[in-house]
Amino acid sequence: MKIGFIGLGNMGGPMALNLIKAGHELAVFDLMPASVQKLTEAGAQAFASPAEVAAQDIEILVTMLPASAHVRTVYLGDNGVLSTVRPQVLLIDSSTIDPQTARDVATVAAKQGNAMLDAPVSGGTGGAQAGTLTFMVGGAEADFAKAKPILENMGKNIVYCGGTGNGQVAKIANNMLLGISMIGAAEAMNLGVSLGMDPKVLAGIINTSSGRCWSSEVYNPYPGVVETAPASRGYTGGFGADLMLKDLGLATEAAKSVKAPVTLGATAQQLYQTFSNLGHGGLDFSAIIKMIEKQG
């Protein structure tokens, strides 16, 4: 199948490479020449704008961009996808953005005959490289069925979440809980260790007791407790604190539109904002424990 792919960064780059490995022909665009080059070396054809990619004889177009503003520009801008794309090309946006932007762009696309799915992912850069991402997909069920085999080239759990925007809803709800639970795990670990517990013994108790969660068990923020966690390699190579801050911002903004209280989500956002302002936004988000330790 001929596929368009726009946004070839840390996530989009390896996702696009996996599509090539699966035998698809790719038409690509990114603002960064170095990112484009990695794809052309693997056999993709590069174009000069989103409009040029969209003008190709493609069946599906995937985007993987930083945030809502980029998605609006790439689809709705002067040289955007919707200025040239043929009707019936299925559009898939895998960026993490706010559900309202996903719904707005899909509405404009539908008016000119293009179905659109929001399909944000979890699994990080490791999952993107290994092709084991989870896709949370919102849109029409028939379009989901058409997209699923393509998404399976990049991920292993492809989950239908309901109507347009619901993929983003699932993503931001999950990541809000993750942000909150990481701070909880960090507070509990710091409390226990400060009161004299060995961190590994404490984590062992938590992980076989009712405090158990992904943040304590798989991704424990205390160094040396989980060898494979970013905490055990200087908080590098994981999910950046600034990306967590962005997702908490999306969650708290979306919450306003439905008047849903997100007291802990908003508190987590403020803590990550402070952590970022201290210059640590590039560290893995579990490094928030450093800020908690310093308060002691």
Q: Which residues bind ligand NAD (CB under 6 A)?
A: 6-12, 29-32, 35, 64-67, 70, 73-74, 95-96, 121-122, 124-125, 239, 243
Q: Compute, in degrees rounded to 10, the torsion defined by CA atoms 110, 95, 50, 111.
A: 10
Structure token digits, residue 99: 């559900």
Provide the phi-psi class of 23: left if phi over 0, else alpha when psi is between -120 and 50, else beta: left
> Closest separation between CB of residue 29 and ligand NAD, Å?
6
Residue nearest to ligand NAD (CB): 9
Q: Which helix (H) or strand (E) holds 92?
A: strand 90-93
> Closest separation between CB of residue 30 and ligand NAD, Å?
4
Nearest Cα residue to 214 out of 178, 256, 249: 178
> Closest separation between CB of residue 261 and ligand NAD, Å?
24
Cβ distance to ligand NAD smaller for residue 125 or 153: 125
From 171, 246, 256, 259, active-site residue: 171
Cβ distance to ligand NAD smaller for residue 24 or 70: 70
Cβ distance to ligand NAD smaller for residue 13 or 192: 13
Cβ distance to ligand NAD smaller for residue 175 or 216: 175
Clarify whether 2 is annotated catalytic: no
Cβ distance to ligand NAD smaller for residue 41 or 259: 41
> Closest separation between CB of residue 209 and ligand NAD, Å?
30
Alpha carbons 161 and 136: distance in angstroms, whole number? 6
Q: What is the 3-state secondary structure (H, E, C) of 95-139?
A: CCCCHHHHHHHHHHHHHCCCCEEECCEECHHHHHHHCCEEEEEEC
> Closest separation between CB of residue 203 and ligand NAD, Å?
24
Spell out the alpha helix ranges (H) of the chain.
12-21, 33-41, 50-54, 68-76, 99-111, 124-130, 141-151, 166-194, 199-206, 214-217, 241-257, 263-275, 288-295
> Closest separation between CB of residue 151 and ligand NAD, Å?
14
| Backbone torsions φ then ψ of 159, nearest 5 degrees | -115, 125
Cβ distance to ligand NAD smaller for residue 94 or 216: 94
Q: Is 132 exposed, middle or buried (0-12, 13-18, 19+ CB in 10 A)?
A: middle
Active site residues: 171
